[in-house]
Structure 1
């Protein structure tokens, strides 16, 4: 059952050449979205390859459905298969995924600490 209120669609036209709108768009060109504030980071062990036996410390910074984002201080290649072990009290939960995309951190402290961020599709 859908409990969302109905949305209203209007037929307002946008004047993209309006000087105020152009000014706003110019000021916002360099903005970058950073969603790290909405999820409590969790220390994890990351294993390269699904049969990897040596884990490296990483941080799980976001998780939803079949996607996770991890922060590392080492590079990982796009398409790399990884296993992530999360500690849940006395037990460990393993996530199996593939690196879909990665980038170096964009904050000053990210660059100073050599941080990389990777979006993983979880199997």
Structure 2
């Protein structure tokens, strides 16, 4: 499955967090990534991960789509969970990947094929 992602344009924010515009053959999604844990219904994230998650909840509130939390516990699972989560979501949904540690984060990032430049902004 071909997946492409670009960093969301966040010029109005003082910090840049990993929040992506992701396109697959199944649709377009808002995708976030953070390091932390999801235990029962409790979400624990690093400070940067929490900021990215907060941005994702803002985006999810402004859309009709759902916000999906996906806990990624290993690099092996990342290779299946990333494409599987994108295939299971409906176009317009938001997906936040909660990565167990930095190596898992790196694999999730690679699976999302993201570039560090934001999507072009149309000027009218």
Query: TM-score surpassing 0.5?
Result: no
Larger Rg: 1
Q: TM-score normalized by structure 2?
A: 0.30
More strand, by proportion: 1
Give the TM-score taking structure 1 as reference length. Answer: 0.30
Structure whose residues are more often helix by fraction: 2
| Higher RCO (C-alpha 8 Å, min separation 6) | 2
